[in-house]
Structure 1
Amino acid sequence: MQPEQPTSLRTFLILWIGQMTSILGSEMTNFAITIWAWQIAGQATPLSLIFFFTYTPKLVAASFAGLLVDRWNRKQLMMGGDTAAGISTIAILLLLLTGRLEIWHFYITAAINGLFGYIQSLAFSASMSAIVPPRHYTRATAMSSYVTYFGSYIMAPANDAAVLASVQFAIGIGGLVGATGLSVWGGPKRRIHGLLFGTALMSLGKIIFGLGRVAWHWMTAGFLAAFVSPAIDSSNQAIWLSKVEPDVQGRVFASRYLIAQVTTPLGLAIAGPLADYFFEPAMMPGGSMAGIFGGLFGTGNGAGMALQYSLFSCCSMLIGFGGYAFPVLRDVESLVPDHHA
């Protein structure tokens, strides 16, 4: 017997307001920690380690969190995630007030927040189909995943105008406007278009970004790319919510995250050496690629990374358009029945 489907967004909106407040506070705290760590250490390595200790527990948690979310009370898991974040923030505050705060304390709190934050996020995602009517999946996903993220992305740096770059602000505004518009509109009727065509459009914006040489160019391209971005993940998530049975969504979503993200460290490991030892030297005056691409990207410091960024964005655009060539992907919404049908 199929469970009764929700008929309104009332429950979701109540939960969303609480989650928005929690995420906003967490992002502002993370921003402050990043600035503090940079001011104290003056090096990139401590910042990289903070990101490492935040990211790694998420991958570890993905191996067991799905089963946990499917078998335990999801509301309690979300409350546990908020509680862990609150305790770690209070611990940092107490260490700061007593003059005992050191950089390694951030590594511990980053790992705790990464672990419990991922479980909280997974529990929230897996609860969507129980509190959101199917026709509102894209709208609700846009609200939960992007309005909170881009809102905190803008508001946290806004507290320190000296640090905020105009380009970053434009990207945040673009994402916020796009997410808000998508939340009101509800997304395309065929969600696969939001995923595939959206990927192609966002990649085009990134290509234009790579071609830019002045701030207004980067701001415009960044705004446009971020404006399209909410449609991609929201449409993708809405498809998964529609097709996967609610009682196994935790395991399926965790497996999807693990498969999608496990290659990220490899990508980061490759991108750096490619930039330092191939693209940057090749785009220096007289370099092997300067004569070919110098007219578009210029030459000298940064030109190689701009070329690299644009080339990989071209690959992403081809993937977006290329998805239409595969019927099993293009027609997935009709080929795979909805779990609530």
Structure 2
Amino acid sequence: MRVFNLIWSGQAASLIGTAMTTFGIGVWVFTRTGSPTAFATLILAGSLPGLLTLPFAGVLVDRWDRRLVMLLSDTAAAVVPLTVLTLNSAGMLRLWHVYVLVAVGSVFKAFQFPAFSALVPQLVSKDDLGRANSRESVAEAGGMVFGDLLGGALYGVLGLNGLLLIDLGTFCVALSTTLHSYRLRPAIPPVRAKDAPPRRMRADMAEGWRFIRQRSGLLGLLVFFAFYNLMMEVALVLLAPLVLSSNPPSTLGAVNAAGAVGMIVVSGVMSFTRQPRRLVRAVLAVAVLHGVLLLVMGVGHAAPLLLAVGMFGVLGGYAVTNSATTTLWQRKTPTGLQGRVFSVRRLLAWSADPVAFALAGPVAAYVGTPLADAGGPLPDTVVRLTGTGTSGGIAMVFLLSGVLLTGVVAATCLLRSVRRLERELPDADEPEPAVSAAAP
């Protein structure tokens, strides 16, 4: 895993730098506008363009050298902090500049996930896929934790420009490690035959979806994750108002930190151990655990310790799920199709976020709060568990999400194609990656 570890280390550093810049730009926008709407627009600008770019990105990842895609993506994405730094230093930075540049950056970063995920099976053996994917989770969690911590600590000292300079430095680290990997492993097997006839972009985009649709087990698993993510995000997006309704902001920081620590700890352990033999079974077991944790957090929302424990388990469970599902899809998808297939998979997974963001508030206000009312349709014993008012309505959303998620898991277990996916769908018939002479 020498080449993988080299590239991974550069990407991990870049994730921390990007998180610091994200934090700094968010603070800059809010301090100048004081508008939650402006802040929400920033989040939308940083997510929606990349989401819409994924199908196109997946096609190019399968047509080009995947390391080259990562190099081009990192180089283009570095233009964004460089431009923001230049404009801010000249006193010319405006809000619309930030929106446009963040949107451009999300487009370029959309190439990173399918490129790196599809590159991993070309760098490591099948036996090492689980550990490699777990280290990806460590990098993502580390970016969240250290990016926010360093961003918060350094913004007051260095300002936005200082954070942007650090981000540019981490981009240089990512570029240098990827370039250095060519010395250790100069050749990677092509994913597309040189004599293959040229195809239209639209046909290549459709092929990723067609591959999934023709395999009922993978399609069923994808539908499961669409509902799974929706149930989880509808509840978790309300965590901040749930905590802040009866606690100071420092408590929210502690709860979020507990979740990030859970993801780092579990990912770290998995990166040095073997994954479960039955990956689908592990994913469904984690989903059941998440359903139980949502119930516990809804009932115990007045106790910050229970919320912290719940978030530790939720994000720790995500580490297992992310690693297991990525490994499963890598094993079942031919290398030449992985860019397109992974883009479709991520597109549907990310699509749950804006839907959840749109639903969470109205569900809490018009469903959760009336159900938690003392004169509502539920028994008084249930109302006593959640409490009343706004916090009671949000707690009720946690309870409903936990129950619905458990139902989704039960329905998925009835699907033979998903339950027996690993046995009935053979692994993709791809050669093992060649071992470089420079590798140990």
Query: Which residue is 1:108 aligned to?
Result: 100
Between stretches 313-322 and 229-238, larger displacement belongs to 313-322
Q: Deviations over 1:118-147 (max 9, x none)?
A: 112211111111012111212211211x21
**How many angstroms apart in 2 are the aligned matches of 1:336 and 1:33?**
46
1:260 paired to 2:251: no
TM superposition shift of 1:105: 2.1
Q: Which of residues 12, 19, 34 in structure 1 aligns to 2:26?
A: 34
SS in 2 for 1:63: helix
Query: Which residue is 1:180 aligned to?
Result: 268
- Contact 1:206 1:222 survives alignment (8 Å): no
- Contact 2:365 2:390 survives alignment (8 Å): no
**How many angstroms apart in 1 are the aligned matches of 2:348 and 2:318?**
21
**How many angstroms apart in 1 are the aligned matches of 2:262 and 2:413?**
26
**Residue 143 to residue 64, structure 1, CA distance change in 2 (3 Å):** same
**How many angstroms apart in 1 are the aligned matches of 2:318 and 2:295?**
14
Q: Which of residues 141, 149, 165 in structure 2 aligns to 1:158?
A: 149
Q: Which of residues 399, 403, 424 in structure 2 aligns to 1:314?
A: 403
**Residue 15 to residue 185, structure 1, CA distance change in 2 (3 Å):** same
Query: Which residue is 2:79 aligned to?
Result: 87
Code of the residue aligned with 1:221 in structure 2: it is G
Q: Which of residues 69, 75, 90 in structure 2 aligns to 1:77?
A: 69
- Contact 1:204 1:225 survives alignment (8 Å): no
- Contact 2:135 2:271 survives alignment (8 Å): yes
TM superposition shift of 1:19: 0.8
Code of the residue aligned with 1:39 in structure 2: it is T
**Residue 45 to residue 218, structure 1, CA distance change in 2 (3 Å):** same
TM superposition shift of 1:288: 4.5
SS in 1 for 2:46: helix
Task: Give me the identity figure in percent.
Answer: 29
Q: Deviations over 1:262-289 (max 9, x none)?
A: 4543343233222222322442454444
1:1-341 map, 5 Å: 9-144=1-136, 146-159=137-150, 160=152, 165-212=253-300, 213-289=302-378, 291=380, 293-340=382-429
- Contact 1:209 1:221 survives alignment (8 Å): yes
Root-mean-square deviation (CA, aligned residues, Å) is 2.0
**Residue 90 to residue 279, structure 1, CA distance change in 2 (3 Å):** same
- Contact 1:12 1:132 survives alignment (8 Å): yes
Code of the residue aligned with 2:64 in structure 1: it is W
**How many angstroms apart in 2 are the aligned matches of 1:233 and 1:180?**
13
- Contact 1:142 1:183 survives alignment (8 Å): yes
Tell me the number of residue pairs that the alignment of Structure 1 and Structure 2 aligns: 332
TM superposition shift of 1:322: 4.0
- Contact 1:196 1:321 survives alignment (8 Å): no
- Contact 2:18 2:147 survives alignment (8 Å): no
- Contact 1:297 1:306 survives alignment (8 Å): yes
TM superposition shift of 1:261: 3.5
**How many angstroms apart in 1 are the aligned matches of 2:126 and 2:319?**
18
**How many angstroms apart in 1 are the aligned matches of 2:27 and 2:376?**
37
TM superposition shift of 1:169: 0.7
Code of the residue aligned with 2:267 in structure 1: it is A
**Residue 263 to residue 218, structure 1, CA distance change in 2 (3 Å):** closer
Q: Deviations over 1:176-230 (max 9, x none)?
A: 1111111112320121122111121123222222222121121111112222211
SS in 2 for 1:188: coil
Unaligned 5+ residue runs, structure 1? 1-8
**How many angstroms apart in 2 are the aligned matches of 1:64 and 1:152?**
26
TM superposition shift of 1:301: 2.0
- Contact 2:332 2:425 survives alignment (8 Å): yes
TM superposition shift of 1:174: 0.8
SS in 1 for 2:319: helix
Higher relative contact order (CA 8 A, sep 6+): 2
* TM-score, normalised by the number of residues in structure 1: 0.90
Code of the residue aligned with 2:285 in structure 1: it is F
- Contact 1:200 1:321 survives alignment (8 Å): no
TM superposition shift of 1:290: 7.5
Q: Which has the larger radius of gyration?
A: 2
SS in 2 for 1:62: helix
TM superposition shift of 1:323: 2.9
SS in 1 for 2:91: coil
**How many angstroms apart in 1 are the aligned matches of 2:64 and 2:318?**
32
- Contact 1:290 1:299 survives alignment (8 Å): no
Between stretches 175-184 and 77-86, larger displacement belongs to 77-86
